[in-house]
């Protein structure tokens, strides 16, 4: 194995393992449970190591790094999952392989730390904050801004995110949501996700995706190109991402950044040193021809895929939701529209199932992805969001 490049994958999905095979390198799969990943190992090429990358002590990681160095001689370490990013960074540092320093990864993952950096280096991109443990500070923030967002600093998938308009409303939140929370001044506008790839401190924006939010800020749709932003606003978004990553001293690798645009003003929501989830990589592939997952895996090895043929000028993903209750009807097939092709349309519940409240991305009820002309995709995207695919009645 020492004669060939080898890539350590921290906590990959089965799909990521399949994509990584395209790099033609030996794969070193690391996970906290064996799951079904061992069935994907290629004889004489791939290995599996059991290690809990989510929680560990420094001596445990050091011993694991020594084991990897002695047995598989890693060329690079990558994680595409949020919980594996810090472990990948620390292993890269221990092994001396290309990667982002753990301090930078922590500043990107921790939204409170990111806000502190931006307040010093790029204040135009951030908002005022308070700690959820400081009730008086939350009250002052509410008094100054009228509305705040309460969120876990290390949260993902919109889990635990709430909008609060008064101190009484804040007090009524579950103590688990308040404790240790980051409280931010509420910023209104068009929310976008930005995929970018950095090399030696130069940041290239790969795609800008407009998102739509449902209850509790759960993402219910992604569409590109953005139907709401002008080209001038998109240019400002690209510059804002550059300024954000520069402020965080992020130099190499993929980034997924989320921003809110209101006129000429732009506020950063969060950023991560990984590609976006929710199938955004498939929107990249459809509209640019670039295998975004493969690009995000291959960058520390200096391997970037050549773009394939562009499939479409526009693409979108919709996620299905419903009011809490018993499912009474389903749209099991997508609407037929000219200049639109559906890659898939999957509704997960069945008639008679009970649907709970939409508290995080995990509570969505299926999805559909379409490609087509910009005008047709935008129109169909809005139509599907306005006409729910799932109908419920209160029990």
Burial of 147 (0-12, 13-18, 19+ CB in 10 A): middle
The pLDDT confidence band at residue 1, using thresholds 50, 70 and 90, is: very low
Q: How far apart (Å, rounded) are the C-alpha atoms in residues 50 and 278?
A: 27
| CB contact at 8 A, 213 and 219 | yes
| pLDDT(340) > 60 | yes
Strand duo 26-31 + 6-10: pairing = parallel
Average the pLDDT over 88-104 and give the result.
97
Average the pLDDT over 166-184 and give the result.
94
Domains of the chain, start order: 6-99 (3.40.50.20), 128-185 (3.30.1490.20), 190-285 (3.30.470.20), 314-393 (3.90.1170)
Angle between helices 102-109 and 111-121 (to 10 degrees): 100
pLDDT tens digit sequence for 63-75: 999 999 999 999 9
Q: How many CA atoms lie within 13 Å of 158's alpha carbon, on the beta-carbon side? A: 22
| CB contact at 8 A, 254 and 204 | no
pLDDT tens digit sequence for 208-250: 999 999 988 999 999 999 999 999 999 999 999 999 999 999 9
Q: What's the Rg (C-alpha) of the chain?
A: 22
| CB contact at 8 A, 183 and 122 | no
Q: How far apart (Å, rounded) are the C-alpha atoms in residues 216 and 357?
A: 10
Average the pLDDT over 118-142 and give the result.
96
For residue 349, which of 318, 294, 390, 317 has the smallest C-alpha distance? 390
**Cis ω before 225 (30° cut-off from 0):** yes
Residues 6+ apart with CB under 8 A from 330: 347, 349, 350, 351, 389, 390, 391
Q: How far apart (Å, rounded) are the C-alpha atoms in residues 183 and 186?
A: 9
Q: Give the ranges where 185-264 is alpha helix by DSSP (H).
A: 231-247
| pLDDT(9) > 60 | yes
3-state per-residue secondary structure call for 320-354: CCCCCEEEEEECCCCCCCCCEEEEEEEECCCCCCE
| pLDDT(83) > 90 | yes
3-state per-residue secondary structure call for 55-68: CCCHHHHHHHHHHH
Residue 156 pLDDT:
77
- Across the chain, mean pLDDT equals 95
CA 389 to chain CA centroid, nearest Å: 25
- Torsion sign (Cα): 39, 40, 45, 46: negative
Q: How many CA atoms lie within 13 Å of 357's alpha carbon, on the beta-carbon side? A: 6
Average the pLDDT over 1-27 and give the result.
90
CA 209 to chain CA centroid, nearest Å: 12
Q: How far apart (Å, rounded) are the C-alpha atoms in residues 311 and 288?
A: 8
| pLDDT(3) > 90 | no
DSSP letter (8 states) at residue 21:
G
CA angle 51, 52, 54 (to 5 degrees): 145
Q: What is the DSSP string of 41-95?
A: PPTTT-EEEE--TTS--HHHHHHHHHHHHHHT--SEEEE-SGGGHHHHHHHHHHH
pTM value is 0.94
| pLDDT(395) > 80 | no
| CB contact at 8 A, 50 and 69 | no
DSSP letter (8 states) at residue 363:
G
Q: How far apart (Å, rounded) are the C-alpha atoms in residues 184 and 163?
A: 10
3-state per-residue secondary structure call for 270-324: EEECCCCCCCHHHHHHHHHCCCHHHHHHHHHHCCCCCCCCCCCCEEEEEECCCCC
């Amino acid at each position: 194995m020492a004669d060939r490049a080898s890539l350590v994958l921290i906590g990959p999905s089965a799909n990521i393992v399949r994509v990584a095979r395209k790099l033609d390198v030996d794969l070193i799969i690391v996970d906290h449970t064996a799951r079904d990943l061992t069935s994907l190992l290629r004889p004489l090429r791939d290995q599996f190591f059991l290690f809990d990358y989510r929680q560990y002590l420094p001596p445990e990681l050091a011993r694991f790094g020594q084991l990897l160095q002695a047995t598989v001689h890693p060329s690079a370490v990558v994680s595409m999952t949020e919980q594996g990013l810090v472990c990948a960074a620390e292993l890269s540092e221990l092994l001396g392989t290309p990667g982002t320093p753990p301090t930078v990864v922590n500043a990107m993952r921790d939204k409170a730390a990111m806000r502190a950096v931006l307040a010093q280096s790029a204040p135009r991109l951030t908002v005022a904050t308070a700690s959820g443990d400081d009730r008086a500070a939350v009250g002052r923030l509410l008094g100054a801004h009228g509305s705040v967002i309460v969120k876990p600093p290390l949260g993902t998938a919109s889990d635990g995110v709430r909008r609060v308009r008064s101190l009484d409303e804040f007090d009524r939140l579950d103590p688990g949501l308040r404790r240790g929370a980051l409280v931010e001044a509420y910023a209104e506008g068009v929310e976008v996700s930005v995929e970018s790839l950095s090399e030696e401190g130069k940041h290239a924006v790969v795609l800008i995706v407009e998102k739509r939010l449902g209850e509790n800020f759960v993402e219910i749709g992604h569409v590109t190109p953005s139907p709401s932003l002008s080209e001038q606003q998109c240019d400002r978004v690209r510059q804002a991402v550059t300024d954000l990553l520069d402020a965080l001293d992020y130099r190499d690798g993929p980034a997924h950044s989320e921003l809110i645009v209101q006129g000429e003003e732009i506020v950063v929501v969060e950023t991560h040193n990984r590609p976006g989830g929710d199938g955004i990589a498939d929107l990249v592939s459809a509209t640019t021809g670039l295998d975004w997952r493969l690009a995000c895996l291959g960058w520390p090895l200096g391997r970037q895929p050549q773009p394939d043929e562009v499939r479409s000028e526009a693409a979108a993903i919709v996620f299905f939701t419903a009011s809490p209750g018993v499912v009474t009807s389903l749209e099991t097939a997508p609407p037929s529209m000219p200049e639109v092709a559906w890659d898939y349309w999957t509704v997960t519940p069945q008639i008679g199932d009970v649907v709970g409240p939409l508290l995080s991305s995990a509570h969505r009820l299926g999805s559909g992805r379409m490609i087509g002309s910009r005008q047709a995709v935008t129109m169909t995207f809005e139509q599907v969001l306005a006409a729910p695919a799932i109908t419920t009645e209160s029990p």
